[in-house]
Each structure stands twice: as C-alpha cells, then as structure tokens.
C-alpha cells in the first residue's frame, strides 16, 4: 500500500538527501521556457532547453545534472489550467520520479484544490502489482513529497488523498488478480475482511441464499462453474444521512463466454470482468472512511462464467425476482444477467439514485476508444454523474437509450432476450436498454433515478501509462462514485 507524506512549504529546503527537485517548463507558442522560481535561479538561467531536449509540452519529463545535483523538469503546456490538469501533471511527475525517496516540486500552482489534485496524481501512480514477481522486483521508494507553495492543505484534503490511494490500490489489486486465485467466494471474503469500518456492514449471500432471494441471473451465469456464485451486499449507514445511494457492480471473476465460447484472442484479459464489483465495493469503503452523510448500499454480483454440462444453454429461459422472463440467446452476454439481479434488489430500497457499473460490452471500446466510459440513464442522473466525473477528472460520455433499439431484445417466447445475436447495432446502447428494464419505479410509478456506466475500456489500460493512469487495472470511476456522494449530500442540504 502506498504511504507518502505530502507537505507544502513557502521556501525550498537547502538540502535533503536522496532527493530530486522538479521545476516547471511551459510551452508558449511552441517555445519552451522555464517558469516560476526556476526562471530566476542563476544555475538554470543559462540552460539551453532545446539543446538538452527539455520540452514544455504537457506531461513531458526530463532530468539532467546541474552542478552537483540532478534536477527534474515537468512540462505544463502553457500552464496548469484546472484540477484535472493538475492531477495529470501529478501523475506524470509521480511516474517519472518515483525512484527517489524525497521529491521537491517547485512549480507555480494557483490554489489548494489544484495542489490536492496534483498530490492525488502523484499518489495514484505509486502502484505496482508485483505479487507474483520474484524478489528481485524492486518496489518504488517515494516517501515524501514537498511542494514549494505559499498555500497549505487542510487535514481533510490530506486525508482524502490518503483514502483515495488506499481504495484505488485495493481496487487494482482485485482487478489485477488472476482468476485461479480470485474466484467468487474468495473475492467475497477479501471484501468482507476490508469492510471493518465504522457504520459498514458486509453480507455474503451463498448459493442457498441466492436461491431463496430468487437471484436467478447470478445463479444462471454461475452454474457452469465448480466455483459457485456469490452476492455481496455492503451497507454504509451514517448517523445523519442526507441522501441514499445504491451501487450495483458486475463481478464476473472470469468470463469464458460460457457455452457461447469466446475466441482465443477474445478470452485474454477476461479476469478484468469483475472490475465493476470491485469498484462499487471500494467506492463504498471510501465514502464510509470520509464519513460522508449519504447512506450507501452496494451490490456485488459475482460469478464465474464457464462452459460445462451444467451451464446455462442458449435458448434457456430464466425468470427474475421482479417477474420478468429472459431468453438467454447469448451466454457471453452474461453481465447484464447478474446485474439485473442487483438492479432489482437496489430498486426495492427506493434510493435517491441507483448507479450500476460494469465492463459490459466490447461495443463500448468500438464507440468510445480507450479512455472514455459510456454513461446512460435519465437526464437528471446523467447530469449529476457528469458533474461528479468532471470534478474527479475522469472521462465519461453521455450515450442515448434509443427506444427503437428496444425491439432488438424482444423475445418470441419470453419478455426479453439478453442479446440479439448477429445484429451488432448499438451494442452498448442495447446493453443499457436491457438493464433499464430492471430498474424499478417509485410510488408514483415513475422510474427511479438511474445511471449506467459501461467502462469496458476504461477499467483496464492495456496501452502505455499516461497522466495518472497506470498500465493494467486503472481504478477508474471509484473517485467519480465518491464525488457522486459528495454531490448528493450537497443537493440535500
């Protein structure tokens, strides 16, 4: 677990052993220039930035010897524009200079919110999943970060940085774990061990309880595996809750596609298919640790999707707790089946807002590329989540739920099909439309406030690291869900 001490000081220390000082470089009209105190330092004034290939492009990093010291440089673009940009700059610094114990950052920054974001970026990237590597793998060493600034951070701001670092590390540990060591019952027990937090309760529903509660989607997906499914219900009940939030996460610990088996190239990486469940668990724990006045109930819908003699077959029909029947036309569209159970359970609680999150469709990557999360739902809920994502510096894109596509999942023998095989039209949107069918109504028969997040692409970064995003499991959307709780608490004041 990352443990860094963050500090601010009006002046740079004269000498700290095992340290690197990082200065700022800006790019004005394609010309790189030292800015802040770096521009005034005699030993740096004569530096020919172009000759030593130091760039002011945003996130560009360099280090060179200057006198008896090695100093670092970070490109800001023109300047640090906002908290989201500060977080990206922090991530770039944290990745480039993690091999020193003490890091001094001497760059101009406008306010304490941006400082907090900068520190968050540094903390978030101090992560490496090396559980299975030999002892020769060296952990990162960064212990102290000092920013030269006349502003200070509050105790609450420093605590939030620490909590974000903890829950993101825990999320990424779960998502990165191989499926032979992380299966439904194991994942449930790990989360229960992490949930020993004030006002938090963790329940595990085994297959007997799932049968009793008519969670037929989770049971159907999980019955092909020798490792039975689980539902984990996490409740956070603060003393004076101002609002209520329900979270539903997809937890497929490995997805072979079931009887509708995936091709060899498509099956790699399917250990990440439980990222939604990991995300809602750790977001709930973060909300509880921050003592936010919002009651949260999270449902982790966990199963392993395997082909076997006991597995669900294409054309099987299952009937859910809310009475709706579904013809399973594609066992590789299993995520929406387990999520349906969670949405029905969440709806029965009549919360102020339901958010579900899942690595639901490959179509999300086709539509949105490698970094964006697809966001669907009713207008008010979408706007609230967009605002929370903006505050967190995470990328979401509002996608529609076209009523005409609802026809694609009508079944001849049941209420719905889980997939229209052979028709790829709007695959991400069809997934959202299916889930919408399991969102309940309030006493006035109006559908409950609901947002759906499809982060099939953002949950795992299989390309090079960037900003504060590491390679592998990213921990995406944890901070956005915490920001949603912030927004709900503010709205209810």
Q: How far apart, in whole angstroms, are the C-alpha atoms of residue 251 and residue 422?
A: 26
Q: How far apart, in whole angstroms, are the C-alpha atoms of residue 258 and residue 217?
A: 14
Q: How far is CA 22 from CA 81, 145, 293, 404, 478, in A?
A: 19, 11, 39, 55, 29
Beta strands in 55-199 (DSSP E): 61-66, 69-75, 102-106, 144-148
Catalytic residue among 186, 227, 233, 262: 262
Q: How far apart, in whole angstroms, are the C-alpha atoms of residue 2 and residue 466?
A: 19
Catalytic residue list contains 492: no
Q: How far is CA 109 from CA 106, 225, 337, 393, in A?
A: 9, 53, 47, 17
Q: How far apart, in whole angstroms, are the C-alpha atoms of residue 375 and residue 159?
A: 29
Geometric angle at alpha carbon 252, from 251 and 256, rounded to 5° = 170
CB 280, CB 357: distance < 8 Å? yes
Mapped onto helix, strand or coil, the DSSP state of residue 187 is helix
Mapped onto helix, strand or coil, the DSSP state of residue 103 is strand
Q: How far apart, in whole angstroms, are the C-alpha atoms of residue 119 and residue 89?
A: 9
Place of tokens 């007997």: 208
Token representation of residue 104: 């001094």
Catalytic residue among 160, 162, 250, 336: 336
Region of residue 269 (phi > 0: left; psi between -120 and 50: alpha; otherwise: beta): left
DSSP β-bridge partners for residue 103 = 20, 145
Maximum CA pair distance of the chain?
80
Beta strands in 284-399 (DSSP E): 294-305, 316-319, 325-328, 353-358, 373-377, 396-398
H/E element holding 119?
A: helix 112-124
Q: How far apart, in whole angstroms, are the C-alpha atoms of residue 470 and residue 60?
A: 16
Catalytic residue list contains 336: yes
Catalytic residue numbers read 262, 336
């Amino acid at each position: 677990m990352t443990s860094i001490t963050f500090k601010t000081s009006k002046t740079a220390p004269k000498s700290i052993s095992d340290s690197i000082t990082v200065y700022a470089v800006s790019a004005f009209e394609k010309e790189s220039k030292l800015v802040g105190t770096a521009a005034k330092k005699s030993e740096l004034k004569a530096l020919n930035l172009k000759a030593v290939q130091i760039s002011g492009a945003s996130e560009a990093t360099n280090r060179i010897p200057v006198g008896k010291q090695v100093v670092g440089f970070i490109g800001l673009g023109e300047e640090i524009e906002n908290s989201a940009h500060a977080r990206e700059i922090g991530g770039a610094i944290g990745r480039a200079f993690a091999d020193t114990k003490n890091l001094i950052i001497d760059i101009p920054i406008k306010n304490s919110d941006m400082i907090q974001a900068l520190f968050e970026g540094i903390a978030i990237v101090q992560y490496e999943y090396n559980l299975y590597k030999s002892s020769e793998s060296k952990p990162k060493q960064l212990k102290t970060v000092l920013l030269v600034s006349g502003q200070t951070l509050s105790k609450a701001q420093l605590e939030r940085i620490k909590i974000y670092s903890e829950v993101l590390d825990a999320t990424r540990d779960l998502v990165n774990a191989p499926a032979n060591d992380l299966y439904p019952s194991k994942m449930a027990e790990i989360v229960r061990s992490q949930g020993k937090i004030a006002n938090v309760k963790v329940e595990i529903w085994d297959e007997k309880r799932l049968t009793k509660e008519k969670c037929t989607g989770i049971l159907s997906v999980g019955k092909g595996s020798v490792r039975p499914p689980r539902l984990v219900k996490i409740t956070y009940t603060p003393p004076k809750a101002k609002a209520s939030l329900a979270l539903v996460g997809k937890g497929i610990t490995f997805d072979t596609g079931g009887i509708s088996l995936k091709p060899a190239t498509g099956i790699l990486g399917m250990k990440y298919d439980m990222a939604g469940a990991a995300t809602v668990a750790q977001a709930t724990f973060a909300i509880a640790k921050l003592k936010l006045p919002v009651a949260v109930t999270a449902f982790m819908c966990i199963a392993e999707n395997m082909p076997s003699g006991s597995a669900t077959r294409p054309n099987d029909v299952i009937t859910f707790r809310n009475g709706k029947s579904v013809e399973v036309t594609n066992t590789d569209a299993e995520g929406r089946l387990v999520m349906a159970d969670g949405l029905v359970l969440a709806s029965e609680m009549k919360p102020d807002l339901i958010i579900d999150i899942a690595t639901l469709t490959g179509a999300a990557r086709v539509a949105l590329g490698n970094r964006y999360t697809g966001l669907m739902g009713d207008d008010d809920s979408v706007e609230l989540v967009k605002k929370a994502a903006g505050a967190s510096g995470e990328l979401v894109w509002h996608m529609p739920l076209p009523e005409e596509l609802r026809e694609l999942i009508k079944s001849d023998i049941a209420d719905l099909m889980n997939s229209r095989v052979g028709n790829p039209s709007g695959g991400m949107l069809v997934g959202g439309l299916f889930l919408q069918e399991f969102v309940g109504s309030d006493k006035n028969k109006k559908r409950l406030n609901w947002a759906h997040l499809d982060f099939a692409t953002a949950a795992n970064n299989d390309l090079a690291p960037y900003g504060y995003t590491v390679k592998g499991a990213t921990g995406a959307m944890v901070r956005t869900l915490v920001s949603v709780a912030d927004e709900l608490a503010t709205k209810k004041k």
